[in-house]
Structure formats: C-alpha cells, structure tokens
Amino acid sequence: MPDVQVLCIRKSNPERAHEHITHLGGHGWKWPIAQVIRSIEAGDNTFFVLDPRTRQRSVVMVVRPEGKKAYVRTHADGDLNDNLLMLPPCL
C-alpha cells in the first residue's frame, strides 16, 4: 500500500477559507476527493501531510457524517486539524 504525501489542494471556491476541497495533489498526481476516499477505504493508499514547521505527520482520514457527503480531514496525535486547508492550491 503506497504512502502518499499530499502537497496541494483544489477548492470549489479558492477565495473562501473553508470551501469544500475538490482535489488533493502531490508529485505528479491530482485526484478528485471521491477517488482519494475510494483509495483510502479500499486500503490501496494512505495519504499524509507534513507540517512545514514541525515536520509532524498528519494522516488523511475519511469522515462520513450521517446524512451528509463524505469528506477528508487530517488527524495527528489524536487531534483533528486543518492541515489540508493550509496547503497551497494545485496548479
């Protein structure tokens, strides 16, 4: 199972801080969130973000709120965080 670092995101509205993330990307790849979720849940890949200051690793996890669309979020040392939203936009 490849362990893949996420380096960028694409949001549905780049001007808004908490807009929905539509894609994750890294070296040579950019996937729609639905594909990332399928890959995580199938056990095909794991995805992570490294904090640029501390080099702390945050794992990308799938969140499935009841009655709402699934999304991804990072998790490190028992804490949910917004590391994905701090990433630069994918080109």
Per-residue pLDDT of the chain (91 residues; tens, 9 = 90+): 699 999 999 998 766 655 689 999 999 999 999 999 999 999 999 999 998 788 889 999 999 999 999 999 998 666 666 788 889 999 8
Domain boundaries, the chain: 3-86
24: amino acid identity, one letter: L
Extract the tokens encoding 4.
């893949």
With a CB cutoff of 8 Å and minimum separation 6, the contacts of 77 are: 56
DSSP bridge partners of 72:
62
**Alpha-helical runs (H) found in 1-91:** 33-42
pLDDT score recorded for residue 79 = 64
| pTM score over 0.95 | no
pLDDT of residue 31: 97
Q: Which amino acid, 66?
A: E
Sequence-ordered list of residues with C-beta below 8 angstroms from that of 67, at least 6 positions apart, any chain: none
